[in-house]
Structure 1
């Protein structure tokens, strides 16, 4: 993992608590600007919590394919004490090392990219390298459903299945959200699970906000000889009740009063877990 510190986090006893912590840190990160990619952290919180709870930080790799999702790994790292509050507070500001859209210099993750659809190729490369070296390290890739519109995603899927890269697990955040509106209003992706099965992958289709289901799916994928994809059905407004009904989940606006309410709500939830 691309960590600056030598200290590795202790395993989280309660991944559900970590998911709430991810949402809280993400809300705090975008509050100074009043807008940002909060929705991506809200939809992917359980996925990040489950993965970061089982990662071997010296051996495994984590790929965040969509660059604007980088807020979620940052928030998870903040909740685990891997990033300082000072760094989190600079998120998205000029000169910050925590850019709003991930780059090759982004900490915490092993790979992220600005252009969508490229992350699975990198993850497959990491997994193939592990296989050739005889390494038991696993590779986890966070991929968005919108990236299924990109041809490179399917090229990488064919490659991974052909090489039987069983050490590769994809978490597909199926939140039906992209910049132009609902994904299904732009391109018909369903049946998502059947498409991946047709490409030779082991597929699990779950409620992505059920932390127990996500953790169980990761454990099942670890036993597979084939690459696995976990289709996580999620929402970009999940876990934050104070958001207005018409909130744009792709790029949430959080003016001062709403930011205060959001942080207070998530703080209460964290304290009562």
Structure 2
């Protein structure tokens, strides 16, 4: 059954509602990767609360524009879209199927997005262009961009950040998943990124750094940067095993997780119970503050 789409005019979700939504995002993602026993589950575990706040509270899907810069986070996007009625939950079972709409890495065919990007680091440029167009057309629409932290190693991200600040794109809000994970390992082992908040501030952005698994802190941070006349970024510190640390070994490669049938069964029980109780997720702290 498709859920009713949520807009800004709908009843505001409580923090408890958003925590439950985050647990369901994790459960959807687990079911999507369970077919093959591997996939981009870690991205959904780290960004589940971000998705709950962004899709379930901040974004008006009938009005606003959303850019997904890291295409492999499409798994989180699909799960969140099912939660707000933009996808039928039954279609999630086709994730990664040949010829299906829900490709493992998002493409121009991915439903529910203004843009998804191929090579990492391109999404902010696209979002900045859309935000400028919305302002010139006086549409009143906001533009949201979801970025991963490894993308900050790309110069194009910082060129776009300069452009957005120069043009005062107050209608542009970025949420950054700071999970310290990329395909080659921990981001800090590849390229030192810290101090991330200070760098964005130096580029002229409104910046709030929060624990990315705290829905109350996330939604307050989004509201704060949206109220600022500058483009805004919420830097969300997260963990790629968040919510399933009791099932998946700590040494697992969070960028591309492998899960056994036994782990899937145990994880489903854990996630269903956490969703039922709206349990808070183990906090990870805030990087760079």
- What band does the TM-score fall into relative to the shorter chain? over 0.9
Does the 8 A contact of 1:93 with 1:99 survive in 2? Answer: yes
CA distance in 1, matches of 2:214, 2:182: 22
| Corresponding residue number in structure 1 for 2:232 | 228
- What's the C-alpha RMSD, in Å, of the aligned pairs? 1.5
User: Secondary structure, in 3 states, of the residue corresponding to 2:193?
Assistant: coil
Deviations 1:168-213 (A, max 9, x none): 1110111000001000000011111111111111111111111100
| Corresponding residue number in structure 1 for 2:64 | 60
Question: Residue 171 of structure 2: which of 162, 167, 171 is its match?
Answer: 167
Does the 8 A contact of 1:20 with 1:269 survive in 2? Answer: yes
User: Secondary structure, in 3 states, of the residue corresponding to 1:247?
Assistant: coil
CA distance in 1, matches of 2:277, 2:155: 44
TM-score, with length taken from structure 2: 0.90
| Corresponding residue number in structure 2 for 1:255 | 260
Q: How does 1:43-58 map to 2 (within 5 A)?
A: 43-52=46-55, 53-58=57-62
Structure 2 portions without partners, runs of 5+: 279-289
- Range with bigger deviation, 206-215 or 106-115: 106-115
Does the 8 A contact of 1:25 with 1:79 survive in 2? Answer: no
Instruction: Give the 4+ runs in structure 1 shifted more than 4 A.
Output: none
Q: CA deviation at 1:6?
A: 12
| Corresponding residue number in structure 1 for 2:32 | 29
Q: CA deviation at 1:70?
A: 0.9
Instruction: Kindly tell me the number of residue pairs found equivalent between the two proteins.
Output: 269
Q: How does 1:236-247 map to 2 (within 5 A)?
A: 236-240=240-244, 241-247=246-252
Question: Residue 95 of structure 1: which of 99, 120, 131 is its match?
Answer: 99
Does the 8 A contact of 1:204 with 1:231 survive in 2? Answer: yes
Question: Residue 118 of structure 2: which of 106, 114, 118 is its match?
Answer: 114
Does the 8 A contact of 1:68 with 1:114 survive in 2? Answer: no
| Corresponding residue number in structure 2 for 1:265 | 270
Q: CA deviation at 1:269?
A: 1.1
2:66 pairs with 1:69:
no
TM-score, with length taken from structure 1: 0.95
User: Secondary structure, in 3 states, of the residue corresponding to 1:209?
Assistant: coil
Structure 1 portions without partners, runs of 5+: none
CA distance in 2, matches of 1:130, 1:214: 25
2:12 pairs with 1:15:
no
Deviations 1:132-183 (A, max 9, x none): 0112211111101100001111111010000000011110111000001000
Q: How does 1:140-155 map to 2 (within 5 A)?
A: 140-155=144-159
CA distance in 1, matches of 2:84, 2:26: 13
Deviations 1:202-248 (A, max 9, x none): 11111111110000011111211100111111100011131112221
